[in-house]
Structure 1
Amino acid sequence: MMATRIQRLQQRLPKLYVDAFLVTNQTNIYYLTGFNLLQGDGFLLITGDQAIIVTDARYQLALEEFDSDEVVATISQDYYRDLERICQAMKIDVLGYETTISYQLYDLLDEIMTADLVPFDRLVEKMRMIKDSTEVAKLQRAADLHTAGFRYLLDQVRPGVSERHLANLLDYWMKEHGASAASFPTIVASGVNAAKPHATASEKLVEDGDILTLDFGYFVDGYTADMTRTIAVGSIDPELRDAYEIVNTARQAVIDQVRVGVRGDQLDAAGRQLIEEAGYGDEFNHGMGHGIGLSVHELPASYGPGASQVKLVNNEVITVEPGIYIPEIGGVRIEDDVVVTHGGLRVLTTAPTELIIVGD
Structure 2
Amino acid sequence: MQRIEQLRTQFPSMYIDAFVVTEQINILYLTGFQLGAGDGCLLITSKGAYLITDDRYQEALQELQQDAFDTVITRDYYGQLADLCQQHKITVLGFESTLSYNIFSILDELMVCDIVAFDDTVEKQRSIKAPAEINKIRAAAELNSAGFDYLINHVHAGMTERDVANLLDWWLKKQGAARSSFDTIVASGPNAAKPHAMAGSRQLTNGDIVTVDFGYFLDGYTADITRTFGIGKLVPQLEQIYQTVLQASQAVIKHAVAGIDGQILDSYGRNIIKQAGYDDYFNHGMGHGIGMAIHELPASYGPNAQIVVQSNQIITVEPGIYLPHVGGVRIEDDILIYDHSNEVLTNAPTDLIIL
Q: TM-score, normalised by structure 1?
A: 0.97
Tell me the secondary structure at the aligned position of residue 10 of structure 2: helix
The 5 A counterparts of 1:336-347 are 336-347=333-344
Amino acid at match of 1:87: C
Q: Any residues of structure 2 matched to 1:180-219 within 5 Å, and which?
A: 180-219=178-217
| 1:5 match | 3
Letter in 1 for 2:34: N
Residue of 304, 312, 316 corresponding to 1:315: 312
- How far is 1:163 from its partner? 0.4
Give me the identity figure in percent: 54
Read off the aligned partner of 2:72 and give its amino acid letter: T
In the TM superposition, 1:8-27 aligns within 5 A as 8-27=6-25
1:160-187 Cα offsets, whole Å, 9 max, x none, are 1010111111111111111111111100
Q: 2: CA distance between counterparts of 1:107 and 1:227?
A: 41
Matched, 1:276 2:274: yes
Deviations 1:37-74, CA, capped at 9 Å, x for gaps: 11100011010011110000100111011111211111
What secondary structure does 1:319 align onto? strand
Equivalence map 1:234-313=2 (5 Å): 234-307=232-305, 309-313=306-310
CA deviation map 1:310-340 (0-9, x unaligned): 1111101100000000011100000000001
Deviation of 1:14 (Å): 2.1
**Which deviations, in whole Å up to 9, do the C-alpha atoms of 1:94-124 show, x marking residues without a partner?**
1100001111111111111111100000000
Moved more, 61-70 or 191-200: 61-70
Structure 1: how far apart are the matches of 2:185 and 2:135?
26
The answer to whether 1:333 aligns with 2:330 is yes
1:355 aligns with 2:346: no
Are 1:62 and 2:70 matched, yes or no? Answer: no
Amino acid at match of 1:88: Q
Letter in 2 for 1:318: I
Task: Give the whole-Å Cα distance in 1 for the aligned partners of 2:340 and 2:74.
Answer: 48
Structure 1 unaligned segments of length 5 or more: list them. none
Contact 2:192–2:211 (8 Å) recurs in 1: yes
- Cα displacement string for residues 118-165 of structure 1 (whole angstroms, at most 9, x for unaligned residues): 000000000011001111100000000011100111122111101011
Cα drift, residue 343 of structure 1: 4.8
Deviation at 1:234, TM superposition (A): 0.6
SS in 2 for 1:357: coil
Match of 1:85 among 35, 59, 83: 83
The residue identity in structure 2 corresponding to 1:130 is I
**Structure 2: distance between partners of 1:14 and 1:151:** 50
TM-score, scaled relative to structure 2: 0.99
Counterpart for residue 136 of structure 1? 134
Instruction: Measure the CA separation in 2 of the matches of 1:130 and 1:87.
Output: 30
2:157 aligns with: 159
How far does residue 306 in structure 1 lie from its aligned partner after superposition? 1.0
- 2:102, 2:115 → 1: CA distance? 15
Aligned pairs, how many?
355
CA RMSD of aligned residues (A): 0.9
Q: CA deviation at 1:91?
A: 1.0
Rounded Cα–Cα distance in structure 2 between residues aligned with 1:161 and 1:100: 42
In structure 1, how many angstroms separate the alpha carbons of the residues matched to 2:131 and 2:349? 25
Contact 2:258–2:340 (Cα < 8 Å) also in 1: no
Residue number in structure 2 paired with 1:120: 118
Structure-2 separation of matches of 1:318 and 1:26: 22
In structure 2, the residue matched to 1:99 is 97
In the aligned structure 1, how far is the partner of 2:341 from the partner of 2:273? 25
Write out per-residue CA displacement over residues 264-289 of structure 1, whole angstroms, 9 at most, x where no aligned residue: 00110000000000000001000000
| Aligned mates of 1:343, 1:228 — CA distance in 2 | 26
- Give the letter aligned to residue 227 of structure 1: I
Q: Structure 2: which amino acid aligns with 1:194?
A: A
The one-letter code of the counterpart of 1:97 is: F
Pair 1:49-2:43 in alignment? no
